[in-house]
Amino acid sequence: MSYLDQIISPTLLLDEKICRANLQKMAEKAKRHKMNLVPHFKTAQSKEIGRWAKECGIKEITTSSLSMAEYLSEEGWDRIHIAFPFNPLEAARLDQLAARQSMSVQLINLATTQKLVDTLTHEVGFFIEIDAGYGRTGVQVSDFGLIEGILKTAKKSANLRFRGFYLHPGHTYYADIPKIYEQTRQALSMLKSKYRTEYPDLVTRTGDTPGCSVTEDFGDIDELGPGNFVFYDLMQASLGSCTKSDIAVAMAVPVVDIQAGRKEILVHGGGVHFAKDVLLDEHGNKNFGEIVNLTQSGWTLRNDGSHLKSISQEHGIVKASDALLAEVKVGDILGVLPIHSCMTADCMGSYLTLDGKKVDHAEG
Amino acid sequence: MSYLDQIISPTLLLDEKICRANLQKMAEKAKRHKMNLVPHFKTAQSKEIGRWAKECGIKEITTSSLSMAEYLSEEGWDRIHIAFPFNPLEAARLDQLAARQSMSVQLINLATTQKLVDTLTHEVGFFIEIDAGYGRTGVQVSDFGLIEGILKTAKKSANLRFRGFYLHPGHTYYADIPKIYEQTRQALSMLKSKYRTEYPDLVTRTGDTPGCSVTEDFGDIDELGPGNFVFYDLMQASLGSCTKSDIAVAMAVPVVDIQAGRKEILVHGGGVHFAKDVLLDEHGNKNFGEIVNLTQSGWTLRNDGSHLKSISQEHGIVKASDALLAEVKVGDILGVLPIHSCMTADCMGSYLTLDGKKVDHAEG
């Protein structure tokens, strides 16, 4: 029985071969640069995909919340890192998790560092998150007073171990990657040389998908932590991080109506399935996803401009090419490549592989 | 113990009093106009909130998918209506549900009507969805050929019973409500007078929250089906459907860092919690939610401009007033009124009431 026979409502398809190839390619890139790949599992959020990662030699992963770390714990990971400025209200729950899973967190202020000093009864590693220009979170790269304050406070607990510096250059989504990577290399290199006398084992980590995908010069950075590359998506393809053939997920959506006069196809698939990330073309037209043909063995690109032009809670309206209109009928199932696979996967909460296997995703 | 003591991570708070008052007010409005209120539960998606609705005399509800109808079924509803052009792939599953719950669906083409004729072994009602200008879905109001085609096809099954016409004027979110309601009244009135000789029990239904909130002239429309009014949100407040004091949900988010120099507060609360709906002010500045003060008994408006200026997957950055900056510290919990409560509730998947009770929400 084809996976297609299982689909009656919006379903997020996962092409295992593409996903494994994305993992393998990034693992090989890290190996080539003698770096440690610690993928961010905010995208996949899946134990099963974690097993595929392990087959590529990956031993540590990253999450964006404690609850996601709990979900992915006790799967044999050497360490799980929570790449989010640690939320001090979760200190006791982190301590419980650290009893059964080696963990590290991210610190950017004294208050939370002190809270962990006061709470932890099990060992937890920590990175100091550095802001070298992105401006979202982190200690300013030149704020040695705060860096040393965090290190000094952490020393009060034998359970809080400094592991190194983490820098997420998220502005590679908007700007000049080579320039941003030069800043990133310089910032992390400076910090490493400044602190490695006292902390000889410290490592530096960076990791955004656009940068990790296209950069070949990582300087002396030790670790890579990209997330989205596991699936990629149309946003990444538009940035040049991947081609559309590298996108490992597609939403299967039932066709519920056709308005040939308007060249529109109504599908069951909306904001609660895709989330609402959007790409704009040069004329300001919105694109919430690109139509692909579903086949017995997966999907094929159409490249004819057919795309989701608008979505509401459950409705999606496809602007269809004449060719697509000529092929499709009510009750068919179309494929849609997502704009932002992390958000789409989070909305859907599970995957269906092309051999009809349901793959887990963290809840909520 | 205060509900506040239960919160360590992003949590969607529900003020039961405000929610019940919103339900009561709309129920009274419907009664005043001698109309039947059939609220759309795509917003609340909750059995418990359904019980509150029943206490206001509400006997039927609407959902936007079959799975949501399954979730809300067998709770004593006289009928559940799926207000989405029916997806023919779900015909057999609908028939199973109709065995234990009185159901109605929405039809807009012959293909799906025929599929139900061929499949149903239990009685299911249907509305014909009419498009009188919104342009998303539905049969054009003047397309009598299609209307009569659907009615004729449906007659081939004793299990498919025509109930009436449904018209969702979703463009009230963008345009002149009185004018749109005039079109809506006229369209539904014309259809009723045209078809009631043959179908004396037919009813007409409309239902968008902005229109149902502000309109007092419903003409001879029989039923109202708004959804969002159960919670309201900042989008509705900006449209004039409600005041901010009528908003029944607020997200509680932990403060994880403060950047006083930039007047920014970093909270754990991002796109996976709020969804990414946004309001723009007159200068084009983005607003992903408005900060409120959480108290032992609920929340109070600040009205000082403090708002979520940007969000990523788990991060939210608050642009904070000087007053807020002076009050807040790492580890505190802030409240945030959402832009679009339907999407936020769908992301969160449960509610916490102000007396510390967890309230259910449909899964996925």
- Does residue A276 sit at the B interface (CB-CB below 8 Å)? yes
Q: What is the pLDDT of residue A207?
A: 84
Q: Which of A85, A272, A347 sits opposite B256 (nearest CB)?
A: A85
Dihedrals phi, psi of B164, to nearest 5 degrees: 155, -160
Q: Is residue B28 part of a domain?
A: no
Looking at chain A, the whole-number percentage of residues with pLDDT higher than 90 is: 93
DSSP string, B58-83: --EEEESSHHHHHHH-SSS-SEEEEE
Q: Are residues B56 and B189 in the same domain?
A: yes
Contact B331 A254 (CB under 8 A): no
Of B87, B315, B349, the CB nearest to A136: B315
How large is the average pLDDT for residues B348-352?
Answer: 96
- Which two tokens mark B255? 């403060």
Residues B135 and B282 occupy one common structural domain: no
Tell me whether residue B17 is in a domain: no
Q: Are A232 and A216 in contact (CB under 8 A)?
A: no
Give the number of other CB atoms < 10 A from CB of residue B246.
19
Closest-CA residue of B relative to A137 is B266
Q: Give yes or no for residue A1 having a pLDDT over 80.
A: no
**Whether residue B318 has pLDDT greater than 70:** yes
pLDDT given at position A10: 98
Closest residue on chain A to B346 (Cα) = A272
* Closest CA of chain B from A18, distance in Å: 24
Query: By three-state DSSP, how is residue A316 classified?
Result: strand
Question: Is the Cβ of A235 closer than 8 Å to some Cβ of chain B?
Answer: no
The SS3 assignment for B267 reads: strand
B138 belongs to a structural domain:
yes
Share of chain B above pLDDT 90, in %: 93
What is the rounded average pLDDT of the residues A256-284?
95
Closest residue to B137, CB basis, from A88, A89, A257: A257
Q: Is residue B26 part of a domain?
A: no
Predicted pLDDT of residue A174: 67
Q: Does A142 touch chain B (CB under 8 A)?
A: no
- In this structure, the answer to whether residues B103 and B218 fall within a common structural domain is yes
Whether residue A364 is predicted with pLDDT greater than 80 in this model: the reply is no
- A200 and A142, same structural domain? yes
CA distance linking residue B63 with residue A313, whole number of Å: 11
What are the pLDDT digits (tens) for B173-226?
667 888 888 999 999 999 999 999 999 999 999 989 999 999 999 999 999 999
Residues A156 and A254 in one domain: no
CB contact under 8 A, A8 and B87: yes
Query: Which helix or strand (DSSP H or E) is residue A167 part of?
Result: strand A160-167
Window 67-96 of A, Cβ < 8 Å to B: 67, 84-90, 93
pLDDT tops 80 at residue B306: yes
CATH code at position A337? 2.40.37.20
Are A147 and A212 contained in the same domain?
Answer: yes
Q: Are residues B101 and B163 in the same domain?
A: yes
Q: Which pLDDT score is estimated for B326?
A: 98
Q: Mutate which of B94, B130, B137 to disrupt the A interface (most A C-beta within 10 Å)? A: B137
Beta bridge partners of A250: A13
The answer on A268 and A173 residing in a single domain is no
Across the interface, of A266, A272, A310, the residue whose CB is closest to B85 is A266
Task: State the count of interchain CB pairs (< 8 A) between A and B.
Answer: 142
Give residue B212's domain range: 33-230
In chain A, count H helices and then E strands: 12, 21
Contact A131, A140 (CB under 8 A): yes
Give the separation between CA A228 and CA A212, rounded to whole angstroms.
Answer: 10
| Residue B75, pLDDT above cutoff 80 | yes
- For A:10-39, CB contacts with B below 8 A are none
- On whether both B213 and B87 belong to a single domain, the answer is yes
Q: Would B354 be classed as within a structural domain?
A: yes
Nearest to B88 among A93, A331, A364 (CB): A331
- In a 3-state reduction of DSSP, which class is residue B342? helix
pLDDT by residue (tens digit) across A25-83? 999 999 999 999 999 999 999 999 999 999 999 999 999 999 999 999 999 999 999 99
Residues A46 and A192 in one domain: yes
According to the per-residue pLDDT averaged within each range, which of A129-143, A166-180, B40-54 is highest?
Answer: B40-54
Mean pLDDT of chain A: 96
Beta bridge partner(s), residue B259? B264
To the nearest whole Å, the CA of A200 is away from the closest chain B CA by 29
In this complex, which of A93, A258, A277 lies closest to B8 when CB atoms are compared? A93
Q: Are residues B184 and B64 in the same domain?
A: yes
**pLDDT tens-digit series, residues B261-304:** 999 999 999 999 999 999 998 899 999 999 999 999 999 999 99
Supply the DSSP string of B161-223, one letter for each residue: EEEEEEE--GGGGTS-HHHHHHHHHHHHHHHHHHHTTT-TT-EEEE--HHHHHH----TT--E
Q: Give percent above pLDDT 70 in chain B.
A: 99
Least CB–CB distance from B89: residue in A254, A271, A364 = A254
Q: Region B328-334: what's the mean pLDDT?
A: 98
Kindly report the CATH number assigned to the domain that includes residue A155.
3.20.20.10
In whole angstroms, give the CA distance from residue B161 to residue B128: 11
Instruction: Report yes or no: B218 and B224 within 8 Å, Cβ to Cβ.
Output: yes
pLDDT of residue A60: 98
Does residue B69 fall inside a structural domain? Answer: yes
Lowest mean pLDDT segment, chosen from A60-64, A207-211, B98-102: A207-211
Structure tokens at A346: 């989070």
A185 at the B interface (CB within 8 A)?
A: no
Domain membership of residue B21 (yes or no) is: no
Q: Chain A partners of B42 at a C-beta cutoff of 8 Å? A: 313-314
Residues listed for chain B: 364
**pLDDT tens string A92-113:** 999 999 999 999 999 999 999 9
Q: Tell me whether B342 touches chain A (CB under 8 Å).
A: yes
What percent of chain A clears pLDDT 70, i.e. is strictly above it? 99
Domain end, chosen from B230, B251, B273, is at B230
**Residue of chain A minimizing CA distance to B255:** A87
Q: How far is B258 from chain A (nearest CA, A)?
A: 9
Q: Which residue has the higher pLDDT, A194 or A170?
A: A194
B278, amino acid identity: V
In a domain, A185, yes or no: yes
**Contact yes or no for B276 and A272 at CB 8 A:** no
> Given A66, A275, A314, which is nearest B275 (Cβ)?
A275
Q: Measure CB to CB from residue B330 to each of A109, A137, A254 and give the nearest one.
A: A109
Q: Average pLDDT, stretch A145-155? A: 98
CA B41 from chain centre, in angstroms, equals: 6
**Dist. CA B132–CA B140, nearest whole Å:** 6
How many structural domains is chain A composed of? Answer: 2
Q: Are A92 and A123 in contact (CB under 8 A)?
A: no
Query: What local confidence, expressed as pLDDT, does residue A176 receive?
Result: 84
Determine the average pLDDT of the residues in A234-244.
Answer: 96
Three-state DSSP class for residue B251: strand
Q: Which residue, B180, B202, B230, sits at the end of a domain?
A: B230
- State whether residue A147 is helix, strand or coil: helix
Chain A residue closest in CA terms to B111:
A330
What span, in angstroms and rounded, lies between the C-alpha atoms of B207 and B228?
10
| Contacts with B50 (C-beta within 8 Å, 6 or more apart), sequence order | B41, B44, B61, B72, B75, B77
Q: Does B151 lie in the same domain as B223? A: yes
**Closest Cα of chain B to A108: distance in Å?**
8
Question: Which pTM value belongs to this model?
Answer: 0.96
Q: A243 and chain B: CB distance < 8 Å anywhere? A: no
Mutation pick from A70, A89, A267, A273 vs chain B, by most beta carbons of B within 10 Å, is A89
* Interchain contact A274–B (C-beta under 8 A): no
Which residue in the block uniquely carries the two structure tokens 């930039």?
Answer: B262
Q: Tell whether A318 lies on the interface with B, counting CB pairs under 8 A.
A: no
Question: What pLDDT does A169 receive?
Answer: 86
Among A165, A198, A227, the domain-final residue is A227
Nearest C-alpha of chain A: how many angstroms from B33? Answer: 29
